[in-house]
Structure formats: structure tokens, C-alpha cells
Amino acid sequence: MTVDVGTELPEQSYRVTRADLVRYAGASGDFNPIHWNDRTATAVGLPGVIAHGMFTMALAGRAVTAWTGDPAALVEQHVRFGRPVVVPDDDQGAEVTVRGKVAALLDDGLARVDLTVTSGGEKVLSLARAIVRLA
């Protein structure tokens, strides 16, 4: 794969439903009710049920590995959780969109990819970046 600084990753969009949150809770063991119960979520000041932050981070990683074609190419991933992904209780859920651009070529065949992750027009992850090993 030939990559230069400025190379853009294909935009990836993922639909997140309440069913996805239930499956993620089962896999991760994180059964916090803010991820499945509207009453609890709004009682603590959230706009509604929100996706797990690590689930959102995983979607960003999924977009990167789709681009590299190799899950093992993702060497590091860093994010700050800026805003929650609110997941309505309907058949549509929420959409998370991941965009990326190669920001730097590093030593040893590595590249830093800066990511922009949004949902509902809002940036949900800040300072999101991945270090990938180029083939």
C-alpha cells in the first residue's frame, strides 16, 4: 500500500441500535443502565441512552482496519471521549461516521492517522488517532 501524508481513508458509517448496545454490554460486562435505560440516563443528566465509549472507539478502530485490510496493522489507538453517542429507541438508532487522514509517516513503516468521529453532526471523539503498520 502506497501511502503519503494527506492520504484520506474512505469514510465509514456505522448504524448503532439499542440491540448493538445490549450485545456490547454482554461482551464487555458493562451493564451500566445509562446504556439501556432512558429513565436512568436522563436522571443523571444525559439526553437519553448513550453508546458505550469503548464501543464508539472500537468503531473508529474498525474503520482504520478496514482501510489497512489487516486488523493486526492497528498498533495503537488514542481518543478522548468528547460527546456521547445518543441512541434512540427506534429501528434507526444512531449513525457514527469515521473519517481519517494520514497525518505523519513515522519510523519503522508506521503511520499516524488522525480521525474525525461524528454522530448527529457532532464530534464525539476528540484527539482521535491511530498508529498503523503499513504493509
What is the mean predicted confidence (pLDDT) over 30-44? 98
Are 28 and 35 in contact by the 8 Å Cβ rule? The answer is no
Tens digit of pLDDT for each residue in 88-135? Answer: 999 999 999 999 999 999 999 999 999 999 999 999 999 999 999 998
pLDDT band (50, 70, 90) for residue 2? confident
**What contacts 38, CB < 8 A, 6 or more positions away?**
48, 49, 89
Which domains does the chain show, CATH number per domain? 8-15+52-133 (3.10.129.10)
Question: Dmax over Cα atoms in the chain, in whole Å?
Answer: 50
Per-residue pLDDT tens over the stretch 5-18: 999 999 999 999 99
Is the per-residue pLDDT at 51 higher than 80?
yes
